[in-house]
Amino acid sequence: MTQSLVIMGVSGCGKSSLGVAVSNAIARPLIEGDDFHSSANTAKMTSGTPLTDEDRQAWLAELGQQLHARVQGAVLTCSALKLDYRNRLRAASPGLRFAFLNISPDQALLRVAAREGEHLFPASLVDSQFAALQSPTGEPGVLTLDASLPLPELTARVIRWLDAELSPVLRSTPA
């Protein structure tokens, strides 16, 4: 079973920060999802145009390949806004877990606006992310977190959850 994790949520929720912290804590490579957007997708986002499902198809396929190639597991940062997107990633990496950073639209807007010019994603697109979001809360293998918690607390909660999620599997695996 793969021990991979997707840190997911809308822009500004803290995916990259938590991804780095968890990746370091569990000694798994970090896959920064934004690094795999096509130049066309990057240009669209930079100009303030939301991506469509079609725009995301090749990106999700590449992220699935990245996860599949890391048989020892990885930590992926990816918005994974829709159930279909999450299911595509699950198909590429059986046993995949998701940590959903839940944040209010107002807080996300403040965070994205604060990094304007440092990140490809402008504040004008925050509303489109919430419009597309299909909450994963309640899906199997998903931990929902309050994105306003301090990073060390978020990291600790993810680690405890992964331990609890994976321990029964590891104990039942023959040595």
Q: Which domains does the chain have, with CATH numbers?
A: 5-167 (3.40.50.300)
Q: Average of pLDDT values for 97-117? A: 91
Inter-CA distances, 127 with 8, 37, 102, 140, Å: 16, 20, 14, 27
* Distance, CA of 151 to CA of 158 (rounded, Å): 11
Average pLDDT over all residues of the chain: 90
pLDDT at 77 over 90: yes
* Distance, CA of 33 to CA of 47 (rounded, Å): 19
Strand 30-32 and strand 5-8: pairing? unpaired
pTM of the model: 0.90
pLDDT at 2 over 80: no
